[in-house]
Chain A
Amino acid sequence: MANRVLLITVALVFMVVFLVLPLISVFAQALSAGLGAYASSIADPNVQSAIWMTLTIAAIAVPANLVFGVCASWCIGRFKFPGRNLLITLIDLPFSISPVIAGLLEVLLFGLNGLLGGWLSAHNIQIIFALPGMVLATIFVTLPFVAREVIPLVQEQGNEEEEAAVTLGASGWQIFWRVCLPKIRWALLYGVLLCNARAMGEFGAVSVVSGKVFGQTDTLPLAVESLYGSYEIQAAFAAASLLAMLALVTLVLKAALEWWHRDELHGAKRKKAT
Chain B
Amino acid sequence: MTTEIKISNVSRGFNGHTVLKDVALTVRPGELLALLGPSGSGKTTLLRLIAGLDAPDAGRITIGEDDATSRHPGERGVGFVFQHYALFRHMSVFENIAFPLRIRKSPKPFIQTKVAELLKLIQLEALAQRYPAQLSGGQRQRVALARALASQPRVLLLDEPFGALDAVVRRELRRWLRRLHEEMQITTIFVTHDQEEAFDLADRVVIMKDGGICQEGSPIDIYQHPASPFVHEFLGESNHIPVLLRGGFVRGSDGWELGQAELPDGAASLFIRPHHVVPVPAAWGSWRVARVSATGAQAHLTLTRGAMSLAAAMTADALLESGLQAGTAAEIRFTGGTIFAESRSGPIRLGQGLSLAARA
Same complex origin of A and B: yes
A171–B102 alpha-carbon span in the complex (Å) = 12
A96 to B239, CA, bound (A): 64
Residues on the B chain within 8 Å of A160, using CB:
82, 84, 86
| A182 shortest CB reach to chain B, Å | 4
Rounded to whole Å, the gap between the CB of B73 and the closest CB of chain A is: 5
Partner of A168, one of B84, B90, B151: B151
**In the assembled complex, A89 has its CB within 8 A of some CB on chain B:** no
A: number of interface residues (CB 8 Å): 24
Q: Are A170 and B88 in contact (CB-based, < 8 A)?
A: no
Q: Are B79 and A167 in contact (CB under 8 A)?
A: yes
A169 touches B151 (CB 8 A): yes
Partner of A170, one of B78, B82, B103: B103
Residues on B with C-beta less than 8 A from A183 are 88-90
Q: Does B132 contact A (CB under 8 A)?
A: yes
Q: Report chain B residues within 8 Å CB of A123.
A: none
B334 at the interface (CB under 8 A from A): no
| From A168, A268, A272, contact of B103 by CB (8 A) | A168
What residues of A have a CB within 8 angstroms of the CB of B100 in the complex? 168-169
- Whether B134 lies near A170 (C-beta < 8 A) is no
Q: Which residue of B lies closest to A274 (CB)?
A: B136
B89 touches A167 (CB 8 A): no
**B294: A residues at CB distance < 8 A:** none
Minimum Cβ distance to chain A for residue B252 (Å): 52
- In the complex, which residue of chain B has the Cβ closest to the Cβ of A163? B53
User: A272 vs B133: C-alpha distance in the bound complex, in angstroms?
Assistant: 9
> Is A185 an interface residue, CB under 8 A from the partner?
yes
**1/0 per residue A229-260: CB within 8 Å of B?**
00000000000000000000000000000000
Judged by a CB distance under 8 angstroms, whether B126 is at the interface is yes
CB of B130 within 8 A of CB of A185, answer: no
Which chain B residues border A163 with CB–CB below 8 Å?
53, 80, 82, 86
At the interface, yes or no: A16 with Cβ under 8 Å from chain B?
no
User: Does A4 sit within 8 A of B, measured CB to CB?
Assistant: no
Docked CA distance A164–B143 (Å): 13
Contact A164-B126, Cβ < 8 Å, known A263-B131, A267-B133, A273-B135 = no
Partner of B73 from the list A166, A179, A270 (CB cut-off 8 Å) is A166
Give the complex CA separation of A183 and B132 in angstroms. Answer: 13
Please tell me if the beta carbons of B131 and A161 are within 8 angstroms of each other in the complex: no
Q: With a CB–CB cut-off of 8 A, which chain A residues contact B127?
A: 273
Min CB–CB distance B259 → chain A (angstroms) = 52
| B51, CB-defined interface residue at 8 Å | yes
Q: Which B residues lie within 8 Å of A178 (CB)?
A: 88, 99, 103
Interface assignment of A174: CB less than 8 Å from any CB of chain B: yes
A91 within 8 A of B: no
By a CB distance below 8 angstroms, the chain B residues around A179 are 88
Convert B174-189 into 0s and 1s, putting 1 for each residue whose CB lies closer than 8 angstroms to a CB of A: 0000000000000000
B12-46: CB near A (< 8 Å → 1, else 0) gives 00000000000000000000000000000000000
Nearest CB of A to B151, in Å = 6
Chain A residues in 8 Å Cβ range of B90? 182-183, 185, 264
> Could you say which residues of chain A place their CB within 8 Å of the CB of B144?
164
Q: With A161-B86, A174-B103 known to touch, is A167 a contact of B134 (CB < 8 Å)?
A: no
A165 sits at the interface (CB 8 A): yes
A268-B133 contact given A167-B73, A170-B103, CB 8 Å threshold: yes
Which residues of chain B have C-beta atoms less than 8 A from A165's C-beta? 88, 99
List chain B residues, Cβ under 8 A from A168. 74, 99-100, 103, 147-148, 150-151
Q: How far is the CA of A264 from the CA of B133 in the complex (A)?
A: 8
Task: Say yes or no: is B139 at the interface (Cβ < 8 Å to chain A).
Answer: yes
CB distance from A206 to the nearest CB of B (A): 37
Q: Are A267 and B103 in contact (CB under 8 A)?
A: no
- State the CA gap A274–B53 with chains docked (Å): 35
For B150, list chain A residues within 8 Å (CB). 168
Chain B residue with Cβ nearest A167: B80
Residue of B nearest to A186 (CB): B90
Residues of the B chain whose Cβ atoms lie less than 8 Å from the Cβ of A267: 130-134
Residues of A within 8 A of B89 (CB): 161, 183, 264
Question: What is the minimal beta-carbon distance from A152 to any residue of chain B, in angstroms?
Answer: 16
Query: How far does the alpha carbon of A168 sit from the alpha carbon of B80 in the complex, in Å?
Result: 8
- Minimal beta-carbon separation of A15 from chain B (angstroms): 32
What A residues does B73 contact at CB under 8 A? 166-167
The 7 closest A-B pairs by CB, nearest first: A267-B133, A169-B74, A160-B86, A268-B133, A164-B86, A168-B100, A167-B80
19 contacts between A and B (CB under 8 A): A160-B84, A161-B86, A161-B88, A163-B80, A164-B80, A166-B72, A166-B74, A167-B51, A167-B52, A167-B80, A168-B74, A168-B99, A168-B148, A168-B151, A178-B88, A182-B91, A263-B131, A267-B131, A273-B126
Q: Which residues of B contact A (CB under 8 A)?
A: 51-53, 72-75, 78-80, 82, 84, 86-91, 99-100, 103-104, 126-127, 130-136, 139, 144, 147-148, 150-151
Residues of A that sit less than 8 Å from B by CB: 160-161, 163-171, 174, 178-179, 182-183, 185, 263-264, 267-268, 270, 272-273
New contact pairs (19) apart from A160-B84, A167-B74, CB-CB < 8 Å:
A161-B86, A164-B80, A164-B147, A165-B88, A166-B52, A166-B73, A167-B79, A168-B99, A168-B103, A168-B147, A169-B75, A169-B151, A170-B99, A185-B90, A264-B89, A264-B133, A267-B131, A272-B139, A273-B130
